[in-house]
């Protein structure tokens, strides 16, 4: 165990070489938030509010989340010397007190610059996590997730205190300059005008996709170090995110490049590098160095991680995952549901019910939180058959991330528009000849990993079964025996009658 992080100094040097800069020259690590006056802000601010939950009944306004289609937060890093006006706040659309109670489209864009130093674009991801981190410092404001999957709640009490977008933006802008010495100026634009939110959301998502594609070229085998994040231990004390180039963090806010930049910025912070060590299982994605790091950081509660499997020693989930992957035993496949989907899923459980059973830093086989970016990883649940095992997705998730789905699977995955329950799902899967029906062959190694649940029916088997039943045929019993529907049994019976094998 000792020595998991012994290479920190060397990794730091490597990070600095890769970025071609010396982070330590201009980035200090200590947080100064608690010592700062906030007299012009009608809210309490400080790390003590991290982990505060705002319940629906106490909520005045929501931005993003299940009831809202477009919301995002974006960082734009400008070249040195760009004329930005520090703490300038622009609000396009209604202010908080002009909005009806409920959920609204929302965009926050923070533009930052240094007077003299070139800030590398790799910092964008790390800076972006500060929306989440500092948003949760505001008493009465709850912030979940990142980028285009944010979900923010503002409490009634905070709104009644006079808190407005203007204050929120000032807090973020001020903290950028106070806490990150390389940032000399930060100005913020908040958009609530619905059409403009959509327009800027499209621009941001296109940009992130481009950045993500660059990451897609990296592999776990060729990359050292990997990173851990323990930021969510304030919600889930034993949770540790293992972040690799092929497994972005559950919250969606932190890719491997983000973690790398974050560590370079704050070596005592929540992102820590580690040597992944030896690959113990290339199928599940279990590595000796990851096991050591997780054991240390979870206080020994979790000791093994198979980061690309839904079963066995799974990656843990905290609470701010972007989506859930859930096992559906009746069809031996997986469903995927995004945080924004509010209806019951195909197993009749809504996201919120499953989320309560998913999080907390426990290893929960068959029920895991993950990021939407992981859908695009070539290692996405590779131990369990990957996309060949996915049987259901909520339609907006399928629509937004359809490019992650292999062509041959696109029409085989049902949504709420195709099926309403498990019985309908079974029919759908049989109709589209989904791999789970006859057994999944794992793309990684060509091994058949599930038996399938529809046994091929043939006349000889059915005849033998009828003889075992003393010449009687109960279609319900036969259907259960053969793992098919009664309709399949009756279709074969009719054929057998036509062929003269059975009498009516
Ligand atoms: S989900 Fe993981 S990476 Fe994201 S903030 Fe929480 S611990 Fe860190």
Torsion angles phi and psi, residue 371, rounded to 5? -100, 155
Q: Alpha-carbon distance 337 to 355, whole Å?
A: 10
What tens digit of pLDDT does each residue of 302-352 get? 999 999 999 999 999 988 899 999 999 999 999 999 988 989 999 999 999
Q: Alpha-carbon distance 66 to 20, whole Å?
A: 41
Atom number, ligand 1, closest to the C-alpha of residue 270: 8
Q: Alpha-carbon distance 122 to 219, whole Å?
A: 18
Q: Alpha-carbon distance 236 to 257, whole Å?
A: 24
Torsion angles phi and psi, residue 390, rounded to 5? -85, 125
Count of C-beta atoms within a 10 Å radius of residue 136: 22
Determine whether the shortest distance from the Cβ of 241 to ligand 1 is under 6 A: yes
What tens digit of pLDDT does each residue of 416-442 get? 999 999 999 999 999 999 999 999 999
Are the CB atoms for 496 and 503 separated by under 8 Å? no
Q: Could you report how far apart the first and last alpha carbons of the chain are, in Å?
A: 72
For the chain, give the mean pLDDT: 87
Burial class from Cβ neighbours inside 10 Å (0-12, 13-18, 19+) for residue 330 reads: middle
3-class state of residue 121 by DSSP: coil
Residue to substitute in 128, 235, 249, 257 for testing ligand 1 pocket (most ligand atoms within 8 angstroms of CB): 249
Are the CB atoms for 158 and 139 separated by under 8 Å? yes
Residue in the structure block whose two tokens are 């009516």 = 504
Helix (H) or strand (E) holding 451: none
Q: Alpha-carbon distance 498 to 375, whole Å?
A: 49
- What pTM value is reported for the model? 0.65
Determine whether the shortest distance from the Cβ of 180 to ligand 1 is under 6 A: no
Predicted confidence at residue 375, as pLDDT, reads: 95
Residue to substitute in 128, 227, 232 for testing ligand 1 pocket (most ligand atoms within 8 angstroms of CB): 232
185-191 and 89-92 beta bridge pairing: parallel
CA of 145 to the centre of ligand 1 (A): 9
Atom number, ligand 1, closest to the C-alpha of residue 320: 1
Report, as ranges of residue numbers, the positions in the chain whose pLDDT lies below 70.
1-37, 265, 454-456
Are the CB atoms for 347 and 422 separated by under 8 Å? yes
Copy the structure tokens of residue 117.
Answer: 């130093």
Distances (CA, A) of 82 to 79, 119, 176, 338, 436: 6, 12, 16, 38, 56
CA of 239 to the centre of ligand 1 (A): 9
């Amino acid at each position: 165990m000792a020595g998991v992080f012994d290479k920190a100094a060397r990794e730091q040097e490597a990070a600095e070489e890769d970025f071609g800069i010396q982070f330590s020259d201009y980035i200090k690590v200590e947080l100064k938030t608690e010592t700062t006056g906030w007299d012009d802000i009608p809210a309490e601010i400080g790390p003590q509010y991290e982990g505060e939950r705002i319940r629906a009944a106490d909520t005045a306004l929501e931005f993003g989340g299940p009831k809202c289609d477009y919301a995002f937060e974006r960082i734009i890093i400008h070249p040195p010397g760009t004329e930005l006006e520090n703490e300038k706040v622009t609000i396009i659309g209604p202010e908080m007190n002009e909005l009806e109670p409920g959920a609204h489209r929302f965009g926050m864009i923070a533009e930052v610059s240094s007077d003299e130093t070139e800030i590398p674009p790799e910092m964008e991801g790390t800076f972006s996590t500060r929306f989440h981190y500092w948003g949760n410092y505001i008493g009465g404001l709850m912030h979940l997730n990142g980028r285009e999957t944010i979900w923010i709640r503002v409490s009634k009490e905070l709104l009644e205190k006079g808190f407005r977008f203007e204050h929120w933006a000032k807090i973020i802008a001020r903290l950028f300059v106070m806490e990150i010495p390389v940032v000399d100026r930060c100005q913020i634009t908040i958009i609530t005008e619905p059409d403009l939110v959509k327009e800027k959301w499209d621009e941001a998502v296109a940009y992130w996709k481009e950045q993500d594609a660059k990451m897609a070229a990296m592999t776990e085998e060729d990359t050292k170090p990997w990173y851990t994040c323990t930021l969510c231990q304030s919600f889930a004390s034993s949770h540790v995110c293992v972040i690799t180039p092929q497994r972005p963090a559950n919250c969606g806010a932190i890719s491997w490049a983000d973690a790398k930049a974050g560590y370079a910025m704050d070596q005592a912070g929540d992102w820590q590098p580690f040597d992944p060590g030896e690959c113990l299982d290339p199928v599940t994605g279990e590595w000796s160095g990851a096991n050591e790091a997780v054991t240390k950081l979870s206080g020994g509660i979790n000791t093994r991680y198979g980061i690309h499997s839904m079963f066995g020693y799974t990656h843990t989930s905290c609470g701010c995952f972007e989506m859930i992957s859930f096992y559906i035993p009746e069809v031996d496949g997986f469903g995927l549901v995004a945080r924004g989907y509010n209806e019951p899923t195909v197993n009749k459980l809504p996201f919120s019910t499953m989320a309560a059973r998913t999080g907390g830093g426990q290893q929960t086989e068959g029920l895991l939180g993950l990021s939407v970016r992981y859908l695009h990883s070539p290692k996405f649940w590779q131990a369990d058959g990957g996309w060949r095992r996915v049987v259901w997705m909520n339609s907006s998730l399928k629509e937004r991330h359809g490019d992650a789905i292999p062509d041959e699977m696109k029409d085989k995955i049902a949504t709420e528009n195709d099926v309403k329950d498990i019985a309908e799902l079974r029919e759908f899967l049989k109709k589209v000849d989904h791999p789970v029906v006859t057994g999944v062959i794992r793309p990684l190694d060509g091994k058949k990993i599930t038996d399938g649940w529809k046994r091929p029916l043939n006349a000889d088997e059915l005849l033998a079964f009828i003889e075992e039943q003393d010449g009687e045929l109960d279609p319900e019993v036969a259907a259960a025996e053969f793992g098919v529907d009664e309709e399949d049994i009756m279709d074969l019976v009719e054929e057998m009658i036509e062929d003269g094998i059975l009498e009516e």
